Amino acid sequence: MKTPLSKLFLGVLVTGLLFSCNKEEELPMVDPTSNAAANRWILDIMDEAYYWLGNLGTPISEDASPEDYFEALLYRPTDRFSVIYPDYQELINSLNGISLDAGYEFILYRESATSDKVFAEVSYIKKNSPASAVDLKRGDRITEINNIAFTVNNFREVLGLTGSPHSISYSRYSTEANQYLSKPSISLTPIQLSENPNFLDTIYTINNEKIGYFVYHFFSPDAGDGSRSFNDQTDAVFSKFKAAGIKHLIIDFRYNGGGFVSSAVNLASLIGPGVKSTDIFSKTKYNSFLMKEIPELSDVKTNFLAKNQNLGNILAGNRVYILTSNRTASASELIINGLKPYMDVFLIGNTTTGKNVGSIPFQDEANPENKYGILPIVTQSFNSLDQSDYTTGFKANVEALESAELLLPLGDVKEHLLRKAIAQITGTGPSGRILKSERFDLASSLDQKNRAGQMIESPIRK
């Protein structure tokens, strides 16, 4: 007998098979290493759990590649987010911030609308990474990888070279020379890196206004070890903010593409003004088949956590400031939507991605020969007021592009987006540095992350 649906969704982990016990539909045995075995598993999951079940695509040949088979089932273009991965364990590691990584993230820009030249601008350097041990900084411009120049025709291929040992040719802006100057080429070897989402926190006092600033890059409770260490570190940041008596809070989500809902709940519970464990943070809707077959799934509500570190009641104007970009997605947007019924959520930056649906990671536990993992869309999220209308993204209250100015270190009060937030709080802001050349966003190293645009639902327990 295969794992019944109800046991899976109401069990301890939602990482197994989603199969119905229907002997009439049993098919002849196939080689467990074959595409057919993987594709049967994919169809069984999608045929019950997929959120747009009524619009499930027509299966193609069982012998097709699992990637093509999975794609054929998706409800495009409405479904922008369901994805398949060749290795489930690598998927889970990546969702927890563990990956083979040199330790730097960047955005690729086209120099102008008429130019074929492309450069990669470093967004941030990860702590304890190979990139942190060399002379590479936020704002540096990378023009070549392994002596291959970026162009509009090859940038995706060149981007792929960063997963192996590689060299970087780059330049850095000189204020004295008022231009970018070449730096000596450097070499980097990726390592199995565990990234911490708690990137930066600091407290400013400007014009007698005490401001807390927190940069949070993705949502994960820990590095996959069950310790909840990342959540604990987030709690400690807010404990420090509360003890310092901050009156304003700025959360930086510009590079945050999502992650686990459990960590989103934890962070939101530190911000919402006086929220209790009886207050609703979000509501979750599954497809009609699941909600009928499993009554417990017809009314799923996620409450806030009661956190001693919560500082919502001390924030001036009952407002939180959130810095955003077009890559602010999923669990980040869940926080924005979930907090809106309780406080003024003031956005500064660019319109967010617009992802109000969530996934559950699945692996084929019955067939160890099938290494694939899938992240199909299985839920839609609503806030306590039943609002979920942000598929086109949340538009910023104050529009500002990070790329509009030369990049300064994150946390520098003159940095473009942070300066905009400080100006909203104090009425004035430090002057910045203007950009010397136009640019057009093409892609980012962040787009390759398994967590990009993901809202990973927690298992539902009895």
Domains of the chain from N-terminus onward: 98-193 (2.30.42.10), 196-283+291-357+379-432 (3.90.226.10)
pLDDT band at 449 (very low <50, low <70, confident <90, very high): low
Alpha carbon distance, N-terminus to C-terminus of the chain:
22
Residue 376 reports pLDDT greater than 90? yes
Lowest-confidence region among 28-32, 37-41, 130-134, 426-430: 426-430
If one compares 126 and 16, the residue with the highest pLDDT of the two is 126
If one compares 386 and 23, the residue with the highest pLDDT of the two is 386
User: What are the two backbone dihedrals, phi and then psi, of residue 426, each rounded to the nearest 5 degrees?
Assistant: -100, -15
Average pLDDT value for residue range 100-112: 91
Paired residues of 107 in beta bridges = 121, 444
What is the tens place of the pLDDT at every residue in 33-79?
999 999 999 999 999 999 999 999 999 999 999 999 999 999 999 99
Mean pLDDT of the chain: 89
Q: Enumerate residues 6+ apart whose C-beta is below 8 A from 156.
A: 443
- Is residue 357 within 8 Å of residue 265, measured between CB atoms? no
Average pLDDT value for residue range 274-302: 95
pLDDT band at 13 (very low <50, low <70, confident <90, very high): very low
pLDDT band at 98 (very low <50, low <70, confident <90, very high): confident
What does the alpha-carbon distance between residue 19 and residue 169 come to, in Å, rounded to a whole number? 51
Minimal CA–CA distance to 1: which of 26, 18, 21, 27? 21
What is the tens place of the pLDDT at every residue in 331-367?
999 999 999 999 999 999 999 999 999 999 999 999 9
What does the alpha-carbon distance between residue 448 and residue 228 come to, in Å, rounded to a whole number? 25
What is the tens place of the pLDDT at every residue in 157-204?
888 899 899 999 999 999 899 999 999 999 999 999 999 999 999 999
